[in-house]
Amino acid sequence: MDPPTEPSLGFYDYDLLIIGGGSGGLAAAKEAAGLRKKVLILDLMAASPRGIRRGSSFNTDSIRKYLQQTSLLGKAIHDSHSYGWKFKEEVSHGWSDLVQAIQEQVKTSSLELKRELKSCGVFYLNGRGAIVAPHTVEVTETNGRKRCLTAETLLIATGDQPQYLGIPGDKEYCLTSGDLPSLRHPPGRMLVVGGSAEGLEWAGFLFALGMSVTIMLQHDLLPGFDCKMAQKIENHMIVGGVNFLYHCSLIKVKQTEDDVSGDSAAPTQQARRRVTMMYKDGQTKQEDFDTVLLAVGRTACTSDIGLECVGVQCSPDTGRILVDARDQTNVDYIYAIGSVQHGHPSTTGLSVHAGRLLARRLFAGESVLCDYTNIPSVVLTPLEYAACGLTEEKANLMFGENSIEVYHSFYWPLEWTLPARNKNSCYVKVICHIPDQERVVGLHIMGPNAGDVLQGFVTAMKCGLTKQQLDATVGIHPGTAQVLTSLNQTRRMTDALMLRGNC
């Protein structure tokens, strides 16, 4: 549906104009349109340096889930022999079939989303928006046509994008997580640079499909998450066969000289990449990989949308937009939502929730603010990890170690017992604030379906869940979530036993 060019709301063309197609912006648009407001979304997803269009966060999360399911099915096939299943043919995986299925589903989902927006009365334009004056946005359409549109309220929902290292060959010869789902050939032997959540997820996905994977840690493992949980995920991946490189950094990537297949868009074969890495002691080493994936963080998409033209303040460190508790910038008619915000957690579910609340505050007279505490998140690593609330490190820093009690336990899912799989891998811990009736301030789960297991406990934490209430909850048997209702081992007890054993 093309937006009208003539003003129809008096001084402004629109009540709400959203720059970017992030999940929070889409949610705000639908909510505002439902309140009979005139809304326009400007969404032009920039292509990666390799020319691949990046999808919305909805599509990104869907792709992550599809790939996790792919890897889980492979493990289920392996375990099925222990449950009596026999196969007449050898089972193998077809990368091109997977990519085609994912791309078709993403295309279908995108079309359904546009139809939904249209049915809600939201105007959608595939174009780039940049603020050029107060309440005024210059729109550049895909055909190059430019025009200016005005709106009473502007919302920035441009999100973020994968970051590059700024080294020779990184944009020419490396991939990011947004490129891999469109790769027309198997990635082969892969080097993952960085220990971010998306890096570990992709490493796990591809290793489960039988590919050789090496992870080069740049800084912290799973930054922002609980350190002890990150270490357990690392150990699980190492035991499974994923390689890790420590105390080194990537300094150059180039195409190997003996490759003649040319550019990476070749339909069946990609040229090998020769990477140069430097170790902590200054020594360098070269090694060849089929694919190099950069997972070194994400950068906010704020540099080319005209924020400086009207004085919107951004963090000098992150480039993300500074907002107050109402998601409002220092410019009173401009708001920001989602991962483009500075200092707030970023998940698709949170962005959708915040976007709806923002639209209701703007156009329905409501006053409910988005609560950015106790936000659940999930990492789809080979052993799924879900968390809500404080990490153990932050809890100790905030309240002091003597005020924190950590209850924890390993557990063995019943479905893993017949194939005798990974007895001491799954793990939970509950972090409690002792002076506040042992209120649960952090909950961490590592195991099958961890995200789904966590969801109900998130609601309980919002209601002030205590350890006593957790213990009084009847667990569902057989099931893995019941482990959280019977925790009696504490970190202090475990540490004391270890010290006694070393004496």
Amino acid identity, residue 166?
G
Alpha-carbon torsion angle 429, 200, 414, 88, nearest 10: 180
Could you say which of 81, 342, 344, 477 is catalytic?
477
Task: Give the closest residue to 217 by CA, choosing from 205, 207, 233.
Answer: 233
Which tokens in the block code for residue 380?
């789809």
241 Cβ neighbours under 8 A, 6+ residues apart: 207
Task: Give the closest residue to 177 by CA, choosing from 158, 152, 196, 153.
Answer: 196
Omega of the bond leading into 478 within 30 degrees of 0 (cis): yes
Task: Give the closest residue to 217 by CA, choosing from 280, 156, 132, 171.
Answer: 280
Task: Give the closest residue to 186 by CA, choosing from 94, 103, 78.
Answer: 94
What gap in Å lies between CA 86 and CA 73, rounded to an integer?
Answer: 16
What gap in Å lies between CA 387 and CA 229, rounded to an integer?
Answer: 10
Amino acid identity, residue 27?
A
DSSP state string for 324-359: -TTSB-SSTTEEE-GGGBSSS---HHHHHHHHHHHH
Examine the residue annotation and report whether 477 is marked as an active-site residue of this protein. Answer: yes
Q: Which helix (H) or strand (E) is 99 found in, with range?
A: helix 95-120
Residue 416 is given by DSSP the state G
Give Cα 161 to chain centroid, integer Å. 11
Strands 377-379 and 273-279: unpaired
What gap in Å lies between CA 126 and CA 43, rounded to an integer?
Answer: 5
Give Cα 325 to chain centroid, integer Å. 23
What gap in Å lies between CA 493 and CA 503, rounded to an integer?
Answer: 16
Under 8 Å between Cβ of 8 and 38: yes
Under 8 Å between Cβ of 441 and 363: no
In 3-state terms, what secondary structure has residue 364?
Answer: coil
CA torsion through residues 383, 388, 392, 393, sign: positive
Residues tagged active-site: 477
